[in-house]
């Protein structure tokens, strides 16, 4: 199939937005198994010789690097041995996306070379920050053994979850285990933002991706989470660890971090501390598109009512239908298809009231309408009325407490567009009916076909 440039761009954007959900932490990709050794390299080390570091890699330019990444480094300074433990390994392949959509995508842990990994991130202008953990020798040894355990072939693979089981949560939970649960216990307080809030602030510099992720995820993103939960983000895990303390075996209360330093400071804007309100801009775009649709509908209706040639307004109206069906309809189609998968974060999605597979019909049938097909126009009329009805129904249902999903951003864009197209079709339908009623019996069929 040959795609036009805009179509290729849209398809790429949607696939990349899906990839954000697959790999939000910008992990290193490996085509095959891990690089780690087949045994525990720390068996020959003494606890007092070990150093454990939490490394945080900043955000990058590519869409799957928007959330940053992290890893843990263990060093035996006496033996001159070091290893970086990375839980973000994945394999590219034709079955990657289908497995993800089925909720069956596997990631794995591996050992990666320390200096080479640092160089790779620095070359990509991504920050590299290091926290040296202030753990007792026995805890350092215990953590090192556990990290080595999880890169063994029989233990390395895990079922990936975007928010609850990723490269950052793996490190968080292993560190909490080494602290006998003290890290989690200190962070049972409410998080600063929900999962959606954190997702929004990391993607707001990319409005289209921000829109797609808001459109596709259901109200589970609004559920309250704890500070411990928000450490699914590498920056948040770094913040959590930097402020943590723990009680040693001797009863002393000590900070969890011994020292910290920045290996490389990236030259790029910082992630905003709070998500911004994006809906006013979306509403402005939606009103503009919906207004143009209504204006073209009135022009086409007026041409039919006066007996003038409706070719120009019909082609323009159909072209707008195609464009909107591509840009807004394809994401609606994807939202509908997500219901058929095992990815629970997309089920029972309120956005399906106004963005669903009906929205893509404009893209598919717009060319036929441009050439004068009344059947295609009738199908688009049905779809437009259905989308507008769903939009208005959701606005009413929002008065009920169970409809608590944050749909403000996509609704602000889709609502005026859906209502504008529905109003345009209503005007065209009324003008066509009036033209048929006024025309002589022999000419009525010609008026209806115009």
**Cα 332–Cα 338–Cα 343 angle in degrees, nearest 5:** 145
Pairing relation of β-strands 253-255 and 245-247? Answer: antiparallel
pLDDT tens for the chain, 450 residues long, are 333 344 444 444 455 455 444 444 444 443 333 344 447 899 999 999 999 999 999 999 988 789 999 999 999 999 999 999 999 887 766 665 666 555 567 889 999 999 999 999 999 999 999 999 999 999 999 999 999 999 999 999 988 887 889 999 999 999 999 999 999 999 999 999 999 999 999 999 999 999 999 999 999 999 999 999 999 999 999 999 999 999 999 999 999 999 999 999 999 999 999 999 899 999 999 999 999 999 999 999 998 888 777 899 999 999 999 999 999 999 999 999 888 877 788 889 999 999 999 999 999 999 999 999 999 999 999 999 999 999 999 999 999 999 999 999 999 999 999 999 999 999 999 988 877 777 666 544 544 444
**Which of these, 261, 364, 371, lies nearest to 321 by C-alpha position?**
364
Tokens of 187: 């962070």
- Cα separation, 365 vs 318, in Å, equals 8
Place of tokens 């009324």: 430
The pLDDT value given to residue 160 = 82
284, containing H or E segment: helix 279-306
Per-residue pLDDT at 439: 64
* Main-chain dihedrals φ then ψ at residue 71, nearest 5 degrees: -160, 175
Q: Residue ranges per domain, the chain?
A: 5-264, 279-449
Tokens 């951003």 sit at which residue? Answer: 409
Q: 3-state class of 136 per DSSP?
A: coil
Q: Which of 199, 212, 205 has the alpha carbon at shortest distance from 330?
A: 212
What pLDDT does 216 receive?
A: 93
Contacts of 428-431 spanning 24+ positions with Cβ under 8 A? 428/297, 428/300, 428/301, 428/304, 428/377, 428/381, 429/381, 430/301, 431/300, 431/301, 431/302, 431/304, 431/305
Nearest residue to 202 via CA among 269, 279, 290, 103: 269
Cα angle 399, 340, 331 (rounded to 5 degrees) comes to: 65
pLDDT at residue 95 in the model = 61
Contacts 24+ apart (CB under 8 A), 257-263: 257/131, 257/132, 257/133, 257/134, 258/132, 258/133, 258/134, 259/131, 259/132, 260/129, 260/130, 260/131, 260/132, 261/129, 261/130, 262/127, 262/128, 262/129, 262/130, 263/118, 263/122, 263/128, 263/129, 263/130
The first and second tokens of residue 200, run together, are 């929004």
Q: What is the pLDDT of residue 37?
A: 44
- Yes or no: say if 233 and 67 are a contact pair by the CB < 8 Å rule: yes
CB 168 within 8 Å of CB 25: yes
| CA atoms of 314 and 115, how far apart (whole Å) | 62
The answer to whether the beta carbons of residues 247 and 253 sit under 8 Å apart is yes
In the prediction, which pLDDT does 342 show? 72
Scanning the structure block, which residue is given the tokens 């309408």?
369
276 and 204 Cβ atoms separated by less than 8 Å: yes
- For residues 61 and 213, give the distance between their C-alpha atoms in angstroms, rounded to a whole number: 18
| Selection from 111, 138, 150, 182 nearest residue 45 by Cα | 138
CB atoms inside a 10 Å sphere around CB 54 = 24
Rg value, the chain, Cα: 28
Tokens found for residue 313: 């307004």
> What confidence score (pLDDT) does residue 64 get?
75
For 261, which DSSP code? E
């Amino acid at each position: 199939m040959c795609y036009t440039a805009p179509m290729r761009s849209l398809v790429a954007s949607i696939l990349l937005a899906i990839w954000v959900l697959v790999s939000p932490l910008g992990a290193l990709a490996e085509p095959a198994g891990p690089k780690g050794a087949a045994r525990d390299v720390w068996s020959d080390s003494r606890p007092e010789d070990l150093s454990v570091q939490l490394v945080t890699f900043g955000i990058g330019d590519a869409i799957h690097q928007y959330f940053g990444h992290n890893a843990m480094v263990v060093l035996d300074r006496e033996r001159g041995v070091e290893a970086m433990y990375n839980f973000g390994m994945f394999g590219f392949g034709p079955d990657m996306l289908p497995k993800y959509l089925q909720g069956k995508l596997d990631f794995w842990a591996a050992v990666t070379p320390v200096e080479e990994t640092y160089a790779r991130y620095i070359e990509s202008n991504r920050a590299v920050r290091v926290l040296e953990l202030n753990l007792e020798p026995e805890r350092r040894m215990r953590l090192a053994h556990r990290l080595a355990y999880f890169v063994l072939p029989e233990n390395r693979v895990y079922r990936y979850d975007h928010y609850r089981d990723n490269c950052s949560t793996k490190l968080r939970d292993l560190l909490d285990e080494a602290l006998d649960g003290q890290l989690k216990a200190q962070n049972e307080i409410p998080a600063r933002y929900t999962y959606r809030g954190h997702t929004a602030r990391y993607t707001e510099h990319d409005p289209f991706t921000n829109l797609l992720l808001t459109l596709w995820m259901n109200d589970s993103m609004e559920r309250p989470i704890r500070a411990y939960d928000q450490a699914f983000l590498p920056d948040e895990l770094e913040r959590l660890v930097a402020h943590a303390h723990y009680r040693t075996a001797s009863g002393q209360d000590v900070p969890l971090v011994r020292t910290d330093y920045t290996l490389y400071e990236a030259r790029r804007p910082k992630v905003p501390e709070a998500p911004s309100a994006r809906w006013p801009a979306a509403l402005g775009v939606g009103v503009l598109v919906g207004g143009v649709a209504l204006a073209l509908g009135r022009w086409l209706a007026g041409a039919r009512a006066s007996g003038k040639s409706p070719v120009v307004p019909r082609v323009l109206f159909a072209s707008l239908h195609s464009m909107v069906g591509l840009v807004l309809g394809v994401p609606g189609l994807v939202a509908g298809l997500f219901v058929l998968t095992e990815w629970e974060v997309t089920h029972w999605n309120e956005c399906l009231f106004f963005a669903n597979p009906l929205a893509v019909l404009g893209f598919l049938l717009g060319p036929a309408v441009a050439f004068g097909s009344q059947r295609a126009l009738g199908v688009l009329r049905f779809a437009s009325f259905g989308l507008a009805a769903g939009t208005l129904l959701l606005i009413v249902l929002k008065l009920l407490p169970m409809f608590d999903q944050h749909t403000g951003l996509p609704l602000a864009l889709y609502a005026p567009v859906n209502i504008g197209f529905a109003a345009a079709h209503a005007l065209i339908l009324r003008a066509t009916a009036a033209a048929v009623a006024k025309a002589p019996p022999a000419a009525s069929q010609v008026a209806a076909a115009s």
